[in-house]
Structure 1
């Protein structure tokens, strides 16, 4: 009766590296782009890290910016190949945790301000700004319809108000924790072959 289930489990064990590969492939371009943007605008990144009025007000901003760039660029490339996956995942998870606390937490959970969401009431981290999003969005639409090419601007999708909450960073953090716990995966990572001594 449960033969099919046993076979399913056996098949899943053989391909258990596939979900970890998909996590790595999903995270690589996201984190690589984040690090590359910081690198291209290094002076601005340092200023934002260190400024107490309009930035994060972090100590040692040059050092922390360099570490964030190294973690995001270097770590994402390591994830791509599944090399030193747990170390890369750990450094990137710390980076995401710092981003969640210092950048996104004050904005609540939602990445996009959606006042109709059940999370908009502060169920997960409160943000008053979300409740004003529909009014802001309507005002933006009115201005664009009057002064801009609204049809062209909206043909790729609806206009939204960015809330910049922790939603995306928290999602990446959880994905990185999975890689920290389980590594790069069987058969589809360099870590697997290094561990088995198959690479010279």
Structure 2
């Protein structure tokens, strides 16, 4: 009985594998706005990125040597990564520098803040927000309602959680590529195989 159920399940999974490209396309589409935000902020605010890369940690910076070079490399990697992942072109190759960049960002920016991307209710920043919201509700109920009507405000902890998630998604793209049918890699390989 169990063997029949497992065999039936295996047949269903095998039939579904024709559509496995949807998962890889989904990962690529999910990563695009994430990569875009980083690339856009570094390209448009290049001088601010250079200043942040070079400023000492005591001033909120990363304290990196050669901040212009590192800011350029980070911006170029994100812009190229954005284009390649959007098109599914050289997806596996492009995943490597994107993972390196994500690892560096994780280690320098996110890891010191712990795991959580959003501060939980026990963190001091969340408690301060809760105190502010209580004050707002008592003194300016209209403003409080305006701020909270679409959901509870949260404090960004900027931990490693999101960066680790993006790294894992890039790792999947490294191992499996951009997917079939809706990636330039697929069509390029088909063309070269002729």
Equivalent in the alignment of 1:54: 60
1:11-48 CA deviation, whole Å, 9 max, x = no partner?
23322211111000100111112110121111111100
Bigger drift between 23-32 and 188-197 goes to 188-197
Structure 1 residue 198: Cα displacement: 6.1
Matching residue of 2:191: 197
Is residue 84–residue 90 contact of structure 2 (8 Å, CA) maintained in 1?
yes
1:109 has 2:103 as partner = no
Aligned counterpart in structure 2 of residue 4 of structure 1, from 5, 8, 31: 8
Aligned with 2:86 (options 80, 86, 89) = 80
Say which structure is richer in helix. Answer: 2
Please state if 1:135 is matched with 2:127: yes
Q: For structure 1, which segment, 10-19 or 26-35, has the greater mean C-alpha deviation from structure 2 after superposition?
A: 10-19
Q: What TM-score results when the alignment is normalised by the length of structure 2?
A: 0.87
1:153 deviates by: 1.5
RMSD: 2.1
- Report the Cα offset of residue 188 of structure 1: 2.1
Q: Which has the larger radius of gyration?
A: 2
Alignment of 1:13-162 (within 5 A): 13-52=17-56, 53-115=59-121, 130=123, 132-145=124-137, 146=139, 149-162=143-156
* Structure 2 runs not aligned, ≥5 long: none
* Alpha carbons 1:193, 1:199 under 8 Å: kept: no
Q: Structure 1, unaligned stretches of length 5 or more?
A: 117-129
